Amino acid sequence: MTSAKEIIYDESKILTLSSLEHIRLRPGMYIGRLGNGSHPSDGIYVLLKEIVDNSIDEFIMGFGKRIDIRIENGIVNIRDFGRGIPLGKVVECVSIINTGAKYNDEVFQFSVGLNGVGTKAVNALSEQFEVTSFRDKKLLSAKFKSGELKTAPEANETNESNGTKIRFTPDTKLFPNYSYDLGTIRKQLWNYAYLNRKLTITLNGEKFKSENGLLDLMQEEVGEANLYDIVHCQNGQLEMALTHTERYGEEYFSYVNGHHTHDGGTHLSAFREGILKGVNQFFNSSFDGPDIRDGIVGAVAIKVKDPVFESQTKNKLGNSDLRSWLMPVVRDTFVDFLYKHPEVAEPLKLKIQSNERIRKELSNVKKAARDNAKKSALTIPNLKDCKFHLGDKNGRGEDSTVFITEGISAGGSMISARDVYTQAVFCLKGKPLNCHGQGKEAIYKNLELYNVMKALGIEDSLDDLRYNKVVIATDADVDGLHIRNLLLTFFLQFYEPLVLQGHIYILETPLFRVRNQKVTRYCYNEAERDSAFESLRKGAHLEVTRFKGLGEISPKEFGQFIGENMRAVPVGVEHTHEIPELLNFYMGNNTAERRRYIMDNLV
**Do 225 and 180 belong to one domain?**
no
Residue 531 domain flag: no
Residue 395 or 216, more confident: 216
The reply to whether 240 falls in a domain is yes
237 and 194 both lie in a single domain:
no
Percent of the chain at pLDDT exceeding 90: 37
How many Å apart are CA 133 and CA 146, to the nearest integer? 20
Burial classification of residue 378, based on how many CB atoms lie within 10 Å of its CB (0-12 exposed, 13-18 middle, 19 or more buried): exposed
CATH number of the domain that residue 384 is part of? 3.40.50.670
Choose one of 158, 179, 208: the last residue of a domain. Answer: 208
**For residues 115 and 207, what is the distance between their CA atoms, to the nearest angstrom?**
30
Q: Which CATH number belongs to the domain containing residue 144 in this structure?
A: 3.30.565.10
Residues 6 or more apart in contact with residue 238 via CB below 8 angstroms: 300, 301, 302, 326, 329, 330, 333
Least confident of 51-65, 333-347, 493-507, 571-585: 571-585
> pTM of the full predicted structure?
0.75
For the chain, how many structural domains are there in total?
Answer: 3
**Position with higher pLDDT, 6 vs 329:** 329
Q: Identify whether 528 is part of a domain.
A: no
Buried b or exposed e, range 280-316, using 16+ CB within 10 angstroms: bebbeeebeeebbbbbbbbbbbbbbeebbbeebbbbb
Q: What is the pLDDT of residue 375?
A: 59
The reply to whether 120 falls in a domain is yes
Are residues 239 and 289 in contact, defined by beta-carbon separation less than 8 angstroms? no
182 and 245 in a single domain? The answer is no
Which structural domain, as residue segments, surrounds residue 160? Answer: 21-208
We report the CATH number of the domain holding residue 225 as 3.30.230.10
Within-domain flag for 520: no
Query: Would the pLDDT of 433 be above 90?
Result: no
- Confirm whether 83 is domain-assigned: yes
* pLDDT one-digit tens code per residue, 288-330: 999 999 999 999 999 887 788 776 566 788 888 888 889 999 9
Whether 4 has a pLDDT exceeding 80, the answer reads no
Q: In angstroms, how far is CA 315 from the centroid of its own chain?
A: 10
Does residue 296 sit in the same domain as residue 385? no
DSSP string, 45-76: HHHHHHHHHHHHHHHHTT--SEEEEEEETTEE
Q: Are residues 465 and 583 in the same domain?
A: yes
Backbone φ and ψ for 355, nearest 5 degrees, come out as -60, -40
Which of the residue ranges 154-168, 221-235, 243-257, 529-543 would you say has the lowest mean pLDDT?
A: 529-543
One domain, residues 458 and 352:
no
Distance CA 367, CA 364 (A): 5
Beta carbons within 10 angstroms of residue 209's beta carbon? 17
Residue 552 covered by a domain: no
Q: Is residue 2 part of a domain?
A: no
Radius of gyration for the chain, computed over Cα atoms and rounded to the nearest angstrom: 27
224 and 191 in a common domain: no
Q: Decide which of 148, 178, 208 is a domain's last residue.
A: 208
Same domain, 577 and 430: yes
Look at the chain and count its residues.
603
Asked if residue 187 and residue 72 are part of one domain, the reply reads: yes
In this structure, the answer to whether residues 44 and 90 fall within a common structural domain is yes
Structure confidence at residue 374 (pLDDT): 64
In terms of domains, do 195 and 220 share one?
no
Q: What one-letter code names the amino acid at 153? A: P
Of 356, 386, 401, the residue that ends a domain is: 356
Q: Select the more confidently predicted residue: 550 or 337.
A: 337
Residues 303, 450 share a domain:
no
User: What would the mean pLDDT of 349-374 be, rounded to a whole number?
Assistant: 83
pLDDT band at 107 (very low <50, low <70, confident <90, very high): very low
pLDDT digits (tens, 9 = 90+) for 370-403: 777 665 555 666 888 888 755 445 556 778 899 9
pLDDT, residue 463, reads 84
